Amino acid sequence: MKQLLYTTAAAISGPIIASVILAALYYADRDSRVIKDFRITKVVSEPNGEVISGTFNKVRSCTFKTLVGLDDEGNIYGVDYSRDLVNSRPLGLQKFGPWLVRAPSGRPLRLITVHTCHALWDHQETLGVLANIK
């Protein structure tokens, strides 16, 4: 009976410990930014959106996946960064742009980026807000 109890406890504790470790890693990753000090230094209005340029500091070695604009109603808008596409920038201060943010006028947009930092999940973070685009 004791042996069955020890075997059962060992079989149950392994997955529980692994789950706790994974949860801790997830929350640590979620709170560790890839991009810091995001600054928009130039905004130019065009008929199909706003063209932005600026600077940021890349502080984690992760691979870029995508960038979108998100309004307060949950609508997602494309950001054309093809003229500035670098999938794996080095760490440190960076210049970005021109990025074309395609969205209707009068809405503030959160610029959200997704990076791959490891094989388990993607890392998502808000870079900043492009206020009241025209």
Contact in structure between 38 and 126 (CB atoms under 8 Å): no
Helix and strand numbers (H, E) in the chain are 1, 7
Do 42 and 7 share a domain, yes or no?
Answer: no
pLDDT digit string (tens) for 48-73? 888 999 999 999 999 999 899 999 88
CA angle 31, 34, 37 (to 5 degrees): 100
Confidence of residue 132 (pLDDT cuts 50, 70, 90): low
Do 126 and 83 share a domain, yes or no?
Answer: yes
Do 45 and 75 share a domain, yes or no?
Answer: yes
Do 4 and 52 share a domain, yes or no?
Answer: no
Do 108 and 77 share a domain, yes or no?
Answer: yes
Say what the pTM is.
0.77
Domain count, the chain: 2
pLDDT digit string (tens) for 3-26? 766 676 666 777 777 677 666 666
Percent of the chain residues topping a pLDDT of 90:
36
pLDDT at 6 (0 to 100): 62
